[in-house]
Amino acid sequence: MKNLEQVRAQSAIQFADDVAAGRSAAHGAEGGEAIKKIPPMIMANGLLAALAFALEVDKNGLKRDGYASIFSALAKHLAGEPIAIAHGVTDATSLIRHLTESDSATLKLATAEALEWLGYARRFVKPPEKKS
């Protein structure tokens, strides 16, 4: 049986592999490192506010694809075994719906686990190449 640190690291490595292969985004439109900006955002404003920021839309759709992609990977982590804080969640949109319908203890657990997972993910995701 794996411990929680192993589960978190494995999930974060999978996300980093997806980013490297182009299957997921972790960077802003101008090459910013969204993954490094999310933990302070959660600590300052809370997980729900950070999710709302990531899911903000305009007439063209999502304004921040990188942020939404990171939160979708986090959602899958929170739904997976053995974490299982957010049963049935598949992406960032279903995560925010789940958390708003859950009790405050679930939100607190999800917030703590999100920060733990992001601690790994931000170290494994390769920074974008600088444009010259």
Residue 28: per-residue pLDDT: 62
Taking every pair of Cα atoms in the chain, the longest distance, rounded to a whole number of angstroms, is 48
How far apart CA 79 and CA 32 sit, in angstroms, is: 27
Q: Tens of pLDDT along 76-125?
A: 999 999 999 999 999 999 999 999 999 999 999 999 999 999 999 999 98
User: Three-class SS string for 25-69?
Assistant: CCCCCCCCCHHHHHHHHHHHHCHHHHHHHHCCEECCEECCHHHHH
Q: Could you check whether the bond before residue 39 is cis, i.e. omega within 30 degrees of 0?
A: no
Task: Take residue 62 and report the two structure tokens written for it.
Answer: 């999502």
Contact 11, 108 (CB under 8 A): no
Query: How confident is residue 29, by pLDDT bands cut at 50, 70 and 90?
Result: low
